[in-house]
Amino acid sequence: MSGGNIVGNYALYWGGGVYIQGGSTVFNMTGGKITGNYTGVCGAGVVVHSYNGSAPTFNMSGGSITGNVADPKLVDTHGQGSGVYVGNGTFTMSGNSSVTGNTASRKGGGVYIESGTFTMSGNSSVSENKVIKGMSGGVCISEYGATFNVSGAPVIDNNYYYNGTTTAAERNAEVYHTKTITVTGALTD
């Protein structure tokens, strides 16, 4: 995808905008927008997932994933990874790519990595995402063997969670029971 928009789609369960699964599937995004998509469970913007076998890859070097909503009102379940959900796959952000302005009901308003690998580099950013009630408005790395790699000058900032109240608290990244986190370079506040 080098331009244009994937906009206004709806999936009851997984992947409102883009859903890539299994095999050696690769999706390259160098420009354009994945925006205004909705799902009842996970990955309103993008789902990268494999049940078994080879894991798919999503490479994002430009463009934006913005304004997507993962809300489980219809199926009474997860509401995770509104911008991006990764389950046993690879999601890579580089260049000036951005995940911004997405809303999830429970975990990872911007990006939720259940298992697999999430890599941020260059000037990529995860910002201004939110979670209505739960964990991490920006990036949420789960306990199921996820790997999070950071290098260059990426930004994870101005992400919020409400945890059932009307008062927002900044929560940019949350990691729990993760096997590997690799940071190359300095961390700044």
pLDDT of 187 above 60: no
Q: What percent of the chain has pLDDT over 90?
A: 39
Give me the torsion for CA of 66, 140, 1, 151, rounded to 10°.
110
Q: What's the pLDDT tens digit per position in 96-110?
A: 999 999 988 877 889
pLDDT at 126: 93
Q: What's the pLDDT tens digit per position in 11-69?
A: 888 888 999 988 789 999 999 999 999 988 888 999 998 877 788 999 999 999 999 99
R_g (Cα) of the chain, nearest Å: 15
pLDDT at 180: 60
Task: Assign 141 a pLDDT band (cuts: 50, 70, 90).
Answer: confident
More confident residue, 101 or 169: 101
